Amino acid sequence: MACLGVTNFLFKFSSTSLGPTRSTFYYYLFGLGLSCIAMFMDKGKREYVPQDLIIPALISAFLFVSILTYNYALINMPVSKVSTIRSLSFIVTVILAVVITKEKLILKDYMAISLACGAILLLGWPSSTTYPSPD
């Protein structure tokens, strides 16, 4: 979690200096190098078939779109707001888990999700918003 927080913050500097597209490109380029090192060091080698690569390819495509749009948003908005909006992604994860893998949620889960959504929305709420007077 701390690494993701630092990464979210550093993307602001990278997107500002390199631009969103180049920042995303270098993110993946350097990530590829680190991934190659991790694969070389992996002792848990196992057999796989080419179809096993479909899900990682989908993950890569969705992550690419996520990172690229995040970088573009950082050009126009404060990192604290963009990161807060990005945190709402857990809603999609929960919906997919319930619909596709049939995970069961209990009342406590729904309450926790509602509280988390409320907290994220409050953090992202514009502080300069003026409210109409109750007159």
What is the DSSP track for 22-86?
A: HHHHHHHHHHHHHHHHHHHH--------GGGGHHHHHHHHHHHHHHHHHHHHHHHS-HHHHHHHH
pLDDT in tens, the chain (135 residues): 788 888 888 888 999 999 999 999 999 999 999 999 988 888 777 788 888 889 989 999 999 999 999 999 999 888 888 888 888 888 888 989 999 999 999 999 999 999 988 887 787 677 665 545 555
pLDDT in tens, 2-27: 888 888 888 889 999 999 999 999 99
